[in-house]
A and B are shown apart, each in its own frame.
Chain A
Amino acid sequence: MKAICFVKSVPDTETRVKLAGDRLDKSEIKYILNPYDEFAVEEAVRKKEAGIVDEIVVVSMGPARAQEAIRSALAMGADRGVHIEDDSLDGSDAYATAKVLVEALKKEGGLDTFQLLMFGQRAIDGDTWTVPSMVAEMLGIPSVCNIVKLDIDGNKAVAVRMVEGGEEVFEVELPAVFAGRKGLNEPRYPSLPNIMKAKRKPINKYTLADLGIDAGTVGKAGSFTEVLKYELPPARQAGRKVEGEPEEVVEELIKFLKEEAKVL
């Protein structure tokens, strides 16, 4: 079977966010492959190494830098890439994004070709956790998101999803969407030879016209939501800092817990 991994280029987790007015200042941001997508790609590569998957395609929608995210995934062991780039995509919300990814999947052969649709459980920039479920709903197929385990046997999969206070174990028929989280596997660091090899792996480039999508139905114009403004969260003030004998500092802490936090 074939696997398709949907990935995103996102700001590095070390990023200190700066604003220019009420917009993000992107000038100093360093971009990386979304860390959660690494779990998805790693899992697909492991399934290939186990002889379950025979081809892994990596898809990313975004500006030119999305290519770097695709190359990172190719260096981990994916076979080829698909890059959807179009100026009209700027400002796409989750719904518009899901719609474009579904069309890219169809362009590459659809559900007759791909049985395993892999995502990271969330992208660390928007933090919406929405696109995997939306793609699954648009395709009318099962999805198991936030998974820590994926076993495939023939056209069936058993996936373990983490929820508050427990685990949900789902059995699903393929094709299906899976979204990985920490705990699914330990993503590999690509070796230098594999990084070099990845540079020669093919990446198909699609515009909206190639996918038969009307520019007015995606991007800022075609989205149901838009970011009106960005603000920095209220800065926390450093409070009191005490030092001394444990009995003394604890006494002050108890006073704080009683009088300010009011939890005692």
Chain B
Amino acid sequence: MVFVIAEQRDRELRKPAKEALSLGRKMADELGCSMEAVIIGEGIGSLADEIASYGADKVYVVDNPFLKYYHPMAYARVIGDLVKEKQPKVVLMGGTQTGRDLLPRVAARVGAGIAPDCTGYRIDGDNIVAIRPAISGKVIVEIGFKSPIKMISIRPNAFPIAEPDTSKKAEVENIPFEPTDAEKKMVMKEFNIKSTGRPELTEAEIIVSGGRGMKGPENFAMLEELADLLGAAVGASRAAVDAGWRPQSDQVGQTGKTVSPKLYIAVGISGAIQHLAGMSSSKYIVAINKDPDAPIFNVADFGIVGDLFKVVPVLIERIKKEKGQA
């Protein structure tokens, strides 16, 4: 059996959860086994139908006020105990902040191998080999498993979401839950949303990113305008973050986020090796930089050598025209 941990936020399935469920169904078909999933939270029982639409044969629902927000210990115990009982071949989860925190805990509880942040896999007989970047994307490694249960988290945006089929139904089992004394030693007091209204950087299809060449925080307004026209997220290089122009959560690169969007537009970013490590797996890269020798051009599919302060405003007007907004 392939077992998927489906993550929700505010009672909605997160995009990486849909990617994990879609991959789970595909893997189950390839391995010739069933796919089951678990969903945890408060008031989330109705998500079972949506999970079934991605092909789950059975859905375990753990619904309890204590579990409204992510709780590393309680989530790991409930899921770990389910995994121990069901002995799936594979446990899959989206490699979100929750996934990358929770899955190692589950692996430690169960005693199983883990391959985090995977971007590919291959089936080798009855076994699975996981493929993932390491050293911040500078190398790709193949991970083989020796444990009967294989834990895999997948990099957001690395695997496609299948078309849901609402005619599919799954068996639903409710799992009872009571917090332990140890678990009560930890509580989430607040969950502060800091929404920009734009997609999350690691999940975005398009990212518009700015660097030192932006010259100051005020000039990011035009990148935000460009991003909003494209439905994109706004990223930044380390130089722009260290200068205090952008929040740390926007940083792309070796000490920031690793992203794999369909399109990455680098504006005024020279392309230090640490930055390239964080975005080189983007499908298409566009660079705008006035220095024709900037290393970013070595990885860009399309490069414009020019003054970004002249090019970007023209680009914005041109895209507005394209979208019928001008």
Contacts and interface: CB of A to CB of B under 8 A. Distances in A.
A225 B113 contact: yes
A231 B120 CA distance: 13
A10 to B, nearest CB: 9
Contact of A224 (B112, B139, B141, B202): B112
Contact of B303 (A17, A36, A173, A239): A239
Given A15-B135, A130-B114, A166-B193, A253 B302 contact: yes
A37 to B, nearest CB: 12
23 contacts: A13-B254, A36-B255, A129-B101, A129-B104, A134-B107, A137-B105, A137-B108, A142-B186, A162-B97, A164-B97, A170-B186, A172-B185, A182-B256, A224-B112, A224-B113, A225-B144, A228-B143, A242-B303, A243-B304, A252-B302, A253-B286, A256-B302, A257-B263
Interface in B77-122: 96-98, 100-105, 107-109, 111-117
8 residue pairs, one from A and one from B, having the closest CB atoms: A224-B113, A130-B104, A239-B301, A225-B113, A142-B186, A137-B108, A173-B185, A224-B147
Nearest to B117: A127
Interface string B268-306: 000001100000110111100000100001111111111
A246 B314 contact: yes
Range, interface on chain B: 35 or more
Given A230-B139, A242-B304, A261 B193 contact: no
Contacts of B104: 94, 128-131, 133-134, 137
Contacts of B215: none
B162 interface: no
A36 B136 CA distance: 13
Interface of B: 69-70, 72-73, 76, 96-98, 100-105, 107-109, 111-117, 129, 133-147, 182, 185-195, 200-203, 205-206, 230, 248-249, 251, 254-256, 262-263, 273-274, 280-281, 283-286, 292, 297-307, 310-311, 314-315, 318-319, 322
A14 B277 CA distance: 11
A256 B108 contact: no
A223 B297 CA distance: 41
Nearest to B251: A182
Nearest to B131: A231
Interface string A229-254: 11111001011111110110111111
B262 to A, nearest CB: 7
Given A166-B193, A230-B141, 19 more contacts: A98-B108, A124-B135, A130-B107, A130-B116, A133-B102, A134-B105, A137-B76, A143-B105, A148-B248, A167-B194, A169-B188, A173-B186, A224-B111, A228-B144, A231-B141, A246-B306, A253-B286, A257-B263, A261-B263
B230 A164 contact: no
A95 interface: yes
Contacts of B314: 246-247, 250
Nearest to B253: A13
Contacts of B249: 162
A81 interface: no
Given A227-B141, A236-B298, A95 B306 contact: no
Given A17-B139, A170-B189, A145 B315 contact: no
B139 to A, nearest CB: 5
B96 A242 contact: no
B206 A95 contact: no
Interface of A: 11, 13-17, 19, 24, 35-36, 93-95, 98, 124-131, 133-138, 140-146, 148, 158, 161-173, 176, 182-183, 223-233, 236, 238-244, 246-247, 249-254, 256-257, 260-261, 263-264
* SS of B interface (majority): mixed
B194 A233 contact: no
A142 B144 CA distance: 30
A241 B70 CA distance: 46
Contacts of A249: 304, 306, 311
B237 to A, nearest CB: 13
B156 to A, nearest CB: 9
Contacts of A246: 306-307, 310-311, 314
B146 A223 contact: yes
Given A125-B134, A134-B107, A227-B142, A236 B191 contact: no
A233 B281 contact: yes
A124 B319 CA distance: 38
Contacts of A250: 304, 311, 314-315, 318
Contacts of A233: 133, 137-140, 280-281
B139 A165 contact: no
B302 A239 contact: yes
A230 B302 CA distance: 29
B262 A261 contact: yes
Given A145-B101, A165-B195, A231 B135 contact: no
B297 A241 contact: yes
Contacts of A144: 72
Given A24-B139, A227-B142, A230-B140, A168 B305 contact: no
Contact of B206 (A137, A182, A224, A263): A263
